[in-house]
Structure 1
């Protein structure tokens, strides 16, 4: 067999030792079930998957040569802590077998040896003895040779996981190396936005075409016009559309309009949108909608409007929240789809938490609760983030009731939380988007510029795979 210090190197930069590379290939073949191929490669290359030290340990353990195991472990080059853990595994198996044979005197002598060799404290040694005796009485009984061999093999598996390279290789080492390389390529891919596995046949790199740049819809006319794609503009609203949002499962789209209605659209398999329900009964423009996490309910609200809860399947209004003229400017759901929270632009109303039947669960009112411009709840339901007084953000931890305040220099118009709940962005009327972390580790936000925002509310949002991108509208039609 080739020695571990073989100097043959591989790779264009000469960074890979040949014998190490072959060892991990043999390990990979073995773990995938190609044991004959692994054995043949060992024979042809002269390189063993398992080191000579471990092969010796294996032979000694399977034969019950405990003194030999102890000598081998004391000779190999490992950290003292690792050596102690390995010796503990060996001594424990030896002790169990002595007890199984009824040799309590030898078991006691071994236990004393364990205490001395591993420098175990009295309490830990006593605990070890109790645990082994308990196993003997309740689980093992009188063990035959087959059971003893199985226990020895289990001890070997424990040692395989414990002993470091080059004595043993970490499990599935080649898979880990390849996966690490693929992950690094994905992390460095600026436009990565594809679902599913990445091929290892070539270096991974997404093009800009992975980012959607046009809102298009395939329709029946495409069948006549071949590959030409026809844009379709949805014209069912009678006035400006102020807000749109897809459901969490992507099966529906909701739109809110200044025509005092909201519409639920069904997303068909071929990508077409079909009008499902028109939600009427608001007396003023609808400026915001919020899907429940389970997508069975939809909230609608607007400036000078009450909050309404709709059934997505039937399109009927299940509840109107009319608590003494509580005018809702923004709303959000908690992850159980049964609790919701909303804020009012009226400084005296503050923030309310309700259930779906209109029962108030909690309220935040008073001088510390000025008018609420926008709010959101993190996907785990732990944090409530709100925009106060144009330039102030407050993050309330619903578990600890702790609060953090962030002050911006310019008025904030909207906020949006990432899918994993770790970050949120705010739009400022200074034509900037700021991204903050929810945990509060950042002293300064990341800033994004390039869009135009002078007159209107622009609700930028996270998008793409793992919320890796930020999408924003702009008043210059770009």
Structure 2
């Protein structure tokens, strides 16, 4: 908004002895303004001109130097820009004030002729923060809150704050008066009124604060009130706090989302803003558009782990990212240690333990939250292993009578959940004692996952529709519900994803899907479920809305159990195995297929797991009996050294290095044994 004549006199301190000069002092609200000005604009004047009659070239004095009032043509920042100049300048003034450049903000106001806000706005802010409730209510109309419903809601928020502060001061008589004479006449809903009334019975101040989730009046409750009231006031009159910073953060967020290979440092929240910026100053800069180097994306095999003698079916990283556990058709599980060194050529990697005490092929596994215990599932048997010594801690009492397909440790470490083809989901404590179960579920569970926020269990599997005998034709129609038409006694099969409430074990959603469902994983924010789905699809579901977000295609899956996962910074990517011996990686939000990684031998790539502590490393396992570690290109070149880690020899070694060419093919064998 432009400075009015009286604004100029107040801000620039014009004196009779200065015909055309004034001082630009600290930026403080002017003494008057026109509250009726629409959207902060004066009546069509160009920049720097106002109703004061001050002429072009008018100057102000700053530290002994004059600052000339600038008059520019047009209303936009540049000739080819869509940015309104007045809005831009006012936001700059606000930003300067917020970070402490008070005199610079005042100088910009004087030079541009634009004022950041009306004096009534500053007064209103002071009324709220000082607890002057009557004055605050009166100021609402002056600030453009004209809508009847908005005015009532704003007045309720002010009266509620006043009521709560009186209760906090133990002045129940005055609080009751506010409740009866100020809040009740606003016709708020009965439930809210009853809740506020019940606060009169609070035992003490601590009880009151806990029930309403706030702190005392000198704390942040009044600032939160001011933030709530801001939504009723036109933003052109009362600019939202940190508006320029918010716009810049939105621009950086858009650039990050548009960068499909973004896999940089994890963003950190800006206190009090609800926004986030990266922890690395080099990852995002206002000086240039953000774009990640594709070469920094993990797409090169740096290590091949050889130790299994048959198909490797599943794998999981420890939570600290230093160990990788793999399970195989050869009835063993192997724990590998993967060193922390950044350079794959010098990284130490070795077998730590080979867990052989399995009677059947091993298909699933899970690390405890502290990485001290590893669970394995072989057929219907669940075994607990000491991951630090390799010792068998015992087989769990037989609770499943068909193949255990899923083992998941609870995020709080209190226990774990198992799911099986016998339609059972069982909750165990950390010591392997059965604690609870879901009874007989509706599906033969092929996989399940627990949301990180510990609220839901998501299970996928085959659903058997109950068979109803066909009573025969009736008036020419077949009434065999759940059976093929004209085929008595034949059940109908379908597949489903069922979302259970973890606390109540009751289903929140049961979604019918087509094809076989072989795996499910959950995003770190607990919002999305990733489901491998035949034929040749991966589905991304929003658990909050129970809606399909998108389908990811390209990989091959028709007959085998294939597992996928989220990966990278913030779970930006989806990686999956495939029956064509490749690893596929998509950008989660756009669905773009980024990479098709070859290297494994013939057969399916059965599972992929992203390192939880290294966003630029993941592992894959295959029917070729190997496990591959994938990382970004070392040194920015396409060629790399691949370390093949095999069965330890008598000296506990067994690490050989082989040079591989750009296509992943073997160039020569060094013969070096370390």
TM-score range normalised by the length of the shorter chain: 0.7 to 0.9
- Cα distance between partner residues in 1 of 2:532 and 2:128: 66
TM-fit CA distance, 1:423: 2.2
> Among 432, 446, 463, which residue is 1:358 paired with?
432
Q: Is the 8 A contact 1:53 1:167 kept in 2?
A: no
Label 1:402 to 1:73 Cα distance change in 2 as closer, same or farther (>3 A): closer
Q: Which position in structure 2 is the counterpart of 1:237?
A: 308
Q: What CA deviation, in whole Å up to 9, does each residue of 1:41-91 have, x standing for no partner?
A: 3333333333244467789999xx99999987655533256667589979x
Q: Which position in structure 1 is the counterpart of 2:536?
A: 431
Q: Which position in structure 1 is the counterpart of 2:243?
A: 173
Residue 333 of structure 2 corresponds to residue 262 of structure 1: yes
> Among 434, 455, 480, which residue is 1:382 paired with?
455
> Among 413, 424, 429, which residue is 1:337 paired with?
413
Label 1:332 to 1:412 Cα distance change in 2 as closer, same or farther (>3 A): same
Q: Which position in structure 2 is the counterpart of 1:282?
A: 358
Equivalent position SS for 1:9: coil
Q: Which position in structure 1 is the counterpart of 2:393?
A: 318
- Cα distance between partner residues in 2 of 1:350 and 1:321: 15
Q: What CA deviation, in whole Å up to 9, does each residue of 1:131-175 have, x standing for no partner?
A: 9xxxxxxxxxxxxxxxxxx99xx89x9599645433322111111
- Cα distance between partner residues in 2 of 1:61 and 1:363: 53
Q: What CA deviation, in whole Å up to 9, does each residue of 1:307-327 have, x standing for no partner?
A: 112233333333321326745
Q: Which position in structure 2 is the counterpart of 1:137?
A: none
Q: Which position in structure 2 is the counterpart of 1:415?
A: 520
- Cα distance between partner residues in 2 of 1:430 and 1:274: 37
Label 1:350 to 1:251 Cα distance change in 2 as closer, same or farther (>3 A): same
Q: What CA deviation, in whole Å up to 9, does each residue of 1:233-272 have, x standing for no partner?
A: 2223333322122223323211112332222223322143
Equivalent position SS for 1:284: coil
- Cα distance between partner residues in 2 of 1:433 and 1:159: 42
Q: Which position in structure 2 is the counterpart of 1:402?
A: 506
Unaligned stretches of 5+ residues in structure 2: 5-39, 47-74, 166-173, 201-217, 267-277, 279-283, 464-493, 583-674
Spell out the pairing of 1:139-158 with structure 2 (5 A cutoff): 158=226
Q: Is the 8 A contact 2:316 2:324 kept in 1?
A: yes
TM-fit CA distance, 1:331: 1.4
Equivalent position SS for 2:574: strand
Equivalent position SS for 1:10: coil
- Cα distance between partner residues in 1 of 2:321 and 2:136: 60
Q: TM-score, normalised by structure 2?
A: 0.53
Residue 303 of structure 2 corresponds to residue 199 of structure 1: no
Q: Is the 8 A contact 1:246 1:254 kept in 2?
A: yes
Equivalent position SS for 1:260: coil
Q: Is the 8 A contact 2:137 2:158 kept in 1?
A: no
TM-fit CA distance, 1:183: 1.9
Q: Which has the higher contact order (CA 8 A, sep 6+)?
A: 2
- Cα distance between partner residues in 2 of 1:235 and 1:74: 75
Q: TM-score, normalised by structure 1?
A: 0.72
- Cα distance between partner residues in 2 of 1:60 and 1:282: 73
- Cα distance between partner residues in 2 of 1:66 and 1:335: 46
Q: Is the 8 A contact 1:283 1:305 kept in 2?
A: no
Spell out the pairing of 1:3-402 with structure 2 (5 A cutoff): 4-5=40-41, 8-11=75-78, 13-54=80-121, 74-80=141-147, 85=154, 158=226, 162=230, 163-196=233-266, 197=278, 198-216=284-302, 232-271=303-342, 272=347, 273-302=349-378, 304=379, 306-323=381-398, 326=401, 327-345=403-421, 347=422, 350-366=424-440, 368=441, 371-389=444-462, 391-393=494-496, 394-402=498-506
- Cα distance between partner residues in 2 of 1:209 and 1:288: 33
Equivalent position SS for 1:410: coil
- Cα distance between partner residues in 2 of 1:160 and 1:39: 28
TM-fit CA distance, 1:36: 3.1
RMSD: 4.3
- Cα distance between partner residues in 1 of 2:444 and 2:119: 73
Would you say how many aligned residue pairs link Structure 1 and Structure 2? 416
Higher helix share: 1
- Cα distance between partner residues in 2 of 1:310 and 1:59: 63
Q: Is the 8 A contact 2:120 2:139 kept in 1?
A: yes
Label 1:53 to 1:446 Cα distance change in 2 as closer, same or farther (>3 A): closer
Q: Is the 8 A contact 2:454 2:502 kept in 1?
A: yes
Q: Is the 8 A contact 2:156 2:186 kept in 1?
A: no
TM-fit CA distance, 1:473: 1.5
Higher strand share: 2
- Cα distance between partner residues in 1 of 2:449 and 2:125: 59
Q: Is the 8 A contact 1:350 1:369 kept in 2?
A: no
